[in-house]
Amino acid sequence: MDNRQWIWQSPDWPQFNWDDDIIQPQLRQTRLKMGKLVGKAESRPGQDAAEYSLDAMLSNILASSAIENERLDAHSVRSSLAKRLGLTWHLPGTTTERSEGLAKIMMDVFNSDVGELTETLLFQWHCWLFPEPAPAFLRRGDWRGDATMRVVSGRIGKEKVHYQAPPREQLSADLTAFLQWYNQSRHRAALDPLLRAALAHFWFITLHPFEDGNGRITRALTDMALFQADHESVRLYAVSEAILNHRKDYYDVLEATQRGTMDLTDWLSWFLKMLETSVDTAIMRIDQTRVKTLFWQMHHSNGLPAEQVKVLNRLLDGGDNGFAEGISAGQYQKVAKVSKATATRHLTDLVARGCLTRTAAGGRSSRYKIIDNFSSLNGNFMKNITFYGRFENDILAGRKTITLREASDANFSAGDKVCVSRYEDNVFFCNIEVIAVTQVMFDDLNDKHAVQENMTLEQLKDVISEIYPGLKELFMIEFRLI
């Protein structure tokens, strides 16, 4: 009879495998969205891009701790991160030894000079995670002791064992194998870097090498693997936040996989879904920031009082406190801290100024929503595109009606309404509607394309060849001013 219960008891451990027919399409979809995320972030001013990175790092730290039911002081952690990122426009705040340690871990994670993952580095992270005075039971900065390591739930006498880690006598060899694989696999062209991150996550959490902090250390080295795969996009999204929002599923898929065979398809598929979800969330937040910027570019000269600005910003920021269904007069009164009569007068004024629209429901059911002019009919944020400032007058005059883009910058369809901004300063200047998106081969470029770019055909081809060496396929976006 086979009494093996845990994956590490298999003679094949850790020779993992998976179904590429399931995993590869997910990889392609996730990578496509990562490219879109980087493109959106790069189109924003430098200070905005730095803020996105700070926010993602902060979300990762807070969420990773929240998964373990630990609530951190967000202001302290944010101050520690901002200081290490050199964001001088942030006012210095109060920091703690804990927030400083967490920031140091994150800086290591996103530091290409850190080098290989070693026992010494993991011990240092553990010490930063648990500053002195550490709990009495904890072997701070060291592997766990000889006691059996189990993940359990339930009251005493009714415990349920969700997982039992490898015994201490097996752990040293397992950790040596893991660290060797982690460092060598970074240079294996045949292993997709996103899969490497997912494998590292599962392998290390299954070893459970510390008395405490295994989940948080696991998610840190997972972020390090993602950074080693792509220095740009990983600074913009927070996988731990997605895991927190699906925490039960996280524990369920881990437990099922740790009780299963070497086939990790279900775990890898779930991890890639979380990765894609975190990228989608980051894209949405950048779009929200862009819409907020465009809104205030249109309404900055209205001379609104502070109470109205505060409420509009709450509505523009969205999220759990953003009044997704609109804000009522009573809610306005509480947020702005004004009288009921003033709240009603302010809302009426904002409707008249074109900032808000009143919902169809009347009386006490009335709600007020932002008129953003930047949302599609489906409720999704309008797409955005930038042009060099030298094209602004031609676009506004209707003389420029096509643009050539490479694939990652041509994610448009006929009928899309698009916000247009200047590339140099990201200032909005018009909206356009896409008429058609057509593939154009480099060798088929002609004088019509060149004239629209204010160049000769020879100049156009030279510029494209310099920016995109070897590029053979372009996309022509036809549009009209609206």
pLDDT tens, N- to C-terminus, the chain (482 residues):
345 689 999 999 999 999 999 999 999 999 988 888 888 777 666 566 778 888 899 999 999 999 999 999 888 998 999 888 887 666 567 889 999 999 999 999 999 888 899 999 999 999 999 998 878 888 999 999 999 999 888 888 788 889 999 999 999 999 999 999 999 999 998 999 999 999 999 999 999 999 999 999 999 999 999 999 888 888 889 999 999 999 999 999 999 999 999 999 999 999 999 999 999 998 888 887 777 877 887 777 567 888 999 999 888 877 656 677 789 999 999 999 999 999 999 999 998 888 888 876 656 678 888 875 554 433 444 678 888 888 888 888 888 999 998 887 788 888 888 888 887 776 778 888 899 999 889 899 999 898 888 889 998 888 888 777 788 888 899 999 88
Would you state the pLDDT for residue 42? 73
pLDDT of residue 65: 93
Q: Please confirm whether the linkage preceding 133 is cis (ω < 30° from 0).
A: yes
Residue 86: Cβ-neighbour burial (10 angstroms; 0-12, 13-18, 19+): exposed
What is the Cα–Cα distance from 191 to 44, expressed in whole angstroms? Answer: 33
The whole-number pLDDT of residue 43 equals 65
CA atoms within 13 A on the CB side of 398: 3
Q: Is 403 a catalytic residue?
A: yes
Given the residues 51, 100, 276, 453, select the one marked as catalytic: 453
- In DSSP terms, 417 is beta-bridged to 433
**Amino acid 44: pLDDT:** 65
pTM for the predicted model, two decimal places: 0.71
What is residue 376's predicted lDDT score, i.e. its pLDDT? 40
Q: Pick the catalytic residue from 403, 448, 466, 472.
A: 403
pLDDT score recorded for residue 302:
65
Using the CB atoms, write b or e for 142-179: b if 16+ within 10 Å: ebbeeeebebeeeeeeeeeebbbbbeeeebeebbeebb
pLDDT for residue 413: 85
Measure the CA–CA gap between 98 and 403, rounded to whole angstroms. Answer: 51
Write down the pLDDT at residue 45.
61
pLDDT at 211: 94
